[in-house]
Amino acid sequence: MATETKISPQLPDSGPEADFFEYVLEGRPDPFVPFISEKATISGPVIDMNEIIEKEIVLTGMQLFEPGQLTLVALLQSGSEDFAMVQDFTGKGYVITEGTKIGRKGVVKDIAPNTVIIEETAETRAGKKIITEVVMTLKKEGEE
């Protein structure tokens, strides 16, 4: 009778030293450092990722004025729609409604009694959006 011997395949790294592993960092990136950092470099100079970037757009209508250049002079209501009247530094008047774009980053969010709320949205280099609200208040006659 012939005897059969079973040979179990062994991995080359198995044995008493198989449990020991050492990671050599030399010449390799650290695996625990984030890929995206707060500061990026492009061919030398350091760029701040929190810097607000200005988009190149053609400004028309009320986008030519920043909210600080306008004065709220009247609030109107026609049916269920609200309107506001603003004037620039020359005294020229404009009618605005909710959704009207004002300045480079602003949009009229709400027209409430005695106030107009403008929401300005800016974007940083990292893609983070920064939202600020500008409130224009209706001043009574004689107030400045």
CA atoms within 13 A on the CB side of 24: 2
- What are the counts of helices (DSSP H) followed by strands (DSSP E) for the chain? 0, 10
Report yes or no on 36 lying in a domain. Answer: no
- Across residues 60-74, what is the average pLDDT? 87
pLDDT tens by residue, 37-54: 655 555 556 677 777 777
User: What pLDDT was estimated at residue 21?
Assistant: 75
Q: Which domain holds residue 117?
A: 52-137
Q: What is the pLDDT of residue 35?
A: 73
pLDDT at 17: 58
Range of weakest confidence among 9-13, 20-24, 59-63:
9-13
Residue 13 lies in a domain: no
Q: What is the pLDDT of residue 30?
A: 77
* pLDDT, tens digit, 9 for 90 and up, residues 14-39: 555 567 777 777 788 777 877 776 55
Instruction: Confirm whether 97 is domain-assigned.
Output: yes
The 3-state secondary structure of 71-109, one letter per residue: EEEEEEEECCEEEEEEECCCCCEEEECCCCEECCCEEEE
Q: How far apart are CA 117 and CA 62, in angstroms?
A: 15
Tokens of 98: 């909710």
What does the DSSP 8-state code read for residue 113? T
| Number of domains the chain contains | 1
CATH code (residue 78): 2.30.30.830
